[in-house]
Amino acid sequence: MEYPKEQTDELKPYCSKLSSFTEGGVTFLYLEGLRLPVGCDPQVCDGLLCPVPREGYPSRLYLLVQVKSPYTRHWNVSNARIGEKNWFAFSWKVELESPTLVQILVAHLTGFTREK
């Protein structure tokens, strides 16, 4: 599955390199050097965006490490093997009607900046 180019282009300012790959029938967007919100440690981390339903969530954002943030998050995915790397994800449900890719990404990043 290919995502609209205008939507993938909007993701580019958020990372140093954007690519995609398909695994298990799902096309993941690999955001190398993803910039994270103020207060996160690290401030930059590789991310993997799955903009389609997975693991009971409408979309998921995986990160290469468990990021420390101003609010404690429930990391319910650890060492998920995708694209030959181990990924982490916290429980954060994004509910938007027909969101663009960047809206999905930003909504996930918001999880680091809000209590709930």
Partner 1 sequence: MKNEKMVVKQMETTECLEGKNSHDESSEASPHREYHVRIDGEIVEMEVQFPTGEMLLKKVGKRSCAFELIEEFEHRENDVLEPDEKVDLRKHGLKGFITAHKEIVTIFINNNPYSIERGERTVSDILAKLGQTPEGYVLLEEKHGAPLPLPTDRPVKIFGCEIFYSQVQSGGSS
The footprint of partner 1 (CB under 8 A) covers 13-14, 35-39, 57, 70-71, 73-74, 90-96, 99, 103, 106-116
Q: How far is the CB of 22 from partner 1 (least distance, A)?
A: 25
Q: How far is the CB of 30 from partner 1 (least distance, A)?
A: 17
CA-wise closest residue to 62 among 44, 82, 43: 82
Q: Which residue's CB is nearer to partner 1, number 38 or number 84?
A: 38
Residues 6 or more apart whose CB falls under 8 angstroms from that of 53 comprise 59
Q: Which residue's CB is nearer to partner 1, number 25 or number 56?
A: 56
Peptide bond into 42 cis (omega under 30): yes
**Could you count the other beta carbons within 10 Å of the beta carbon of residue 9?**
12
Q: Which residue's CB is nearer to partner 1, number 85 or number 93?
A: 93
CA-wise closest residue to 76 among 87, 53, 84: 87
Q: Which residue's CB is nearer to partner 1, number 73 or number 80?
A: 73
Q: How far is the CB of 106 from partner 1 (least distance, A)?
A: 6
Q: How far is the CB of 113 from partner 1 (least distance, A)?
A: 4
| CA pair distance 74, 21, nearest whole angstrom | 27
